[in-house]
Amino acid sequence: MGEIAKLELNGKLYELPVIEGTENEKGIDISSLRAATGGYITLDPGFKNTGSTKSAITYLDGENGILRYRGYPIDQLADNASFLEVSFLIIYGNLPTKVELDQFKESITNHTLVHEDMKQFFEAYPAKAHPMGVLASMICSLSTFYPESLNEDRAPEAKDLTIHRLIAKLPTLAAWSYKNARRHPFMYPNNNFDYCENFLHMMFAMPTSNYEIDSVVVSALNKLLILHAEHEQNCSTSTVRIVGSSHANLYASVSAGISALWGPLHGGANQAVIEMLEKISNDGGNVDKWVAKAKDKNDSFRLMGFGHRVYKNFDPRATIIKKACDEVLVKLGVNDPLLEIAKKLEKVALEDEYFKARNLYPNVDFYSGIIYKAIGIPTEMFTVMFAIGRLPGWIAQWGEMIENKEPIGRPRQIYTGENHRDYVPVEKR
Ligand code: ACO
């Protein structure tokens, strides 16, 4: 007999089963609450205490700074695997065999081109369009080119085709959104390159000149994508699951995830970090002044790249990324003054009572922006890079939700508006 939670309400006792995960995480199953109590619901703004699903994809222990994809520790994957290998693991549940990996890579490589008609969409966007806005629209537009993906009864192979198309085309569309913003000609994918190389080629090569692919840059990019690949029920992933729960197609669901990721409190934080560091630098580099602003409750300024909803000790990805950041800057010979400000900011914040008391540590985005900057990615593309990395996670979570036949996501609310009132014609108001 497992644990049981008891809820006493108006003198009546309700028993609620306790659910236990494979890592002994516990949750009270309240799925029968409303029916049993005659209408009571739970209220949990921001879902801080609410589990929306059971999931077998990612284990995350925020208190102890643990992150594992399908059981494998993030540091082992980041140090040894390729992004496509990790994507396969996350989506299909196990590390691929050599044959499986070769087939997966080949399929992805064969789908990197996007339909020529899609190029015309880009031309309609103004040069100042933020690439995240362009990317979200382009990914949703893919569904119009593959209408068979709207069919819910698709065979597994057809589902795989959609998945492979998405993974293959996202970097192409991402790089083209950048080229378009510069009004530079698009570079087509090159099937001789691997996933990361190809993206760098489409971003930085020109018809007039090749881009010299640097292995240090490729390896840093590979690591960054792995670190971002999956993170259980975060804002964008929950968005993908909830949109997909209405049986909207995968392209539409991922497009919604991209939009959710864009916000500065989520994936947009990597762009916000660099903008913040630049602001501090332009203001004379007085870190203490900006830390004081972040602590001032009358000031809306927050230290971007600090704090996390689930990591209350440290973000294990930030530890890996910090090391990678130091290595990349040394290897590329980049001396970025923003890094000095970042280090000062980190030191002050980690020693300050305000941040210590609230368990606010640097998160993954605090350092990722500095690496992206060092490898030549423009600031407005940082969140796009995050989207490329997070795609396998969104796909896996969407697939799990469909496979588990989860019901449509539809939270309840406690209504606090006006009571019944009768309509009054405008001339009598
Ligand atoms: N700077 C200053 N104070 C902060 C910060 C920060 N970055 N983050 C949280 N706090 C304070 C809050 O003011 C609050 O203080 P209080 O208890 O005195 O009211 C306390 O710490 C708790 O903060 P919440 O906002 O309640 O924490 P929540 O879990 O809701 O938010 C979030 C987490 C959104 C990440 C928040 O820490 C934040 O805004 N950070 C900056 C943006 C950022 O880096 N986002 C990226 C997250 S990682 C990712 O999505 C990939």
pLDDT computed for residue 154 by the predictor: 67
C-alpha 67 – ligand 1 centre gap (Å): 20
Tell me the domains of the chain and their CATH numbers: 4-51 (2.20.28), 75-263+381-403 (1.10.580.10), 269-374 (1.10.230.10)
Listed residue (393, 140, 380, 366) closest to 248, CA to CA: 140
Residue ID of nearest Cα to ligand 1 atom 49: 266
DSSP letters, 224-239, are: HHHHTS--SS-HHHHH
Is the distance from the beta carbon of residue 358 to the nearest atom of ligand 1 less than 6 Å? yes
Q: Which atom of ligand 1 is nearest the CA belonging to 46?
A: 30
Is the distance from the beta carbon of residue 398 to the nearest atom of ligand 1 less than 6 Å? no
Sort 332 into a burial class: Cβ within 10 Å, 0-12 / 13-18 / 19+: middle
pLDDT computed for residue 323 by the predictor: 86
* CB within 8 Å of 161: residues ≥ 6 apart: none
C-alpha 247 – ligand 1 centre gap (Å): 33
Is the distance from the beta carbon of residue 307 to the nearest atom of ligand 1 less than 6 Å? yes
pLDDT computed for residue 269 by the predictor: 86
pLDDT computed for residue 79 by the predictor: 95
Q: Which residues are catalytic?
A: 308, 365
One digit per residue, the tens of pLDDT, for the chain of length 429 reads 689 999 999 999 999 999 999 999 999 999 999 999 999 999 999 999 999 999 999 999 988 889 999 999 999 999 999 999 999 999 999 999 999 999 999 999 999 999 999 999 998 999 889 999 999 999 999 999 998 888 766 677 889 999 999 999 999 999 999 999 889 999 999 999 999 999 999 999 999 988 899 998 999 999 999 999 999 999 999 999 999 999 999 999 999 999 999 998 999 888 889 999 999 999 999 999 999 999 999 999 999 989 888 887 778 998 898 888 888 888 888 888 888 898 889 888 889 999 999 989 888 888 888 889 888 899 999 999 999 999 999 999 999 999 999 999 999 999 999 999 999 999 999
C-alpha 89 – ligand 1 centre gap (Å): 31
Residue ID of nearest Cα to ligand 1 atom 44: 305
Q: Which atom of ligand 1 is nearest the CA belonging to 386?
A: 51
C-alpha 306 – ligand 1 centre gap (Å): 7
pLDDT computed for residue 1 by the predictor: 63
pLDDT computed for residue 270 by the predictor: 87
* CB within 8 Å of 258: residues ≥ 6 apart: 132, 135, 136, 139, 236, 387
* CB within 8 Å of 235: residues ≥ 6 apart: 260, 261, 263, 265, 266
- The first and second tokens of residue 51, run together, are 């589990």
Q: How many CB atoms lie within 10 A of CB 100?
A: 14
Is the distance from the beta carbon of residue 273 to the nearest atom of ligand 1 less than 6 Å? no
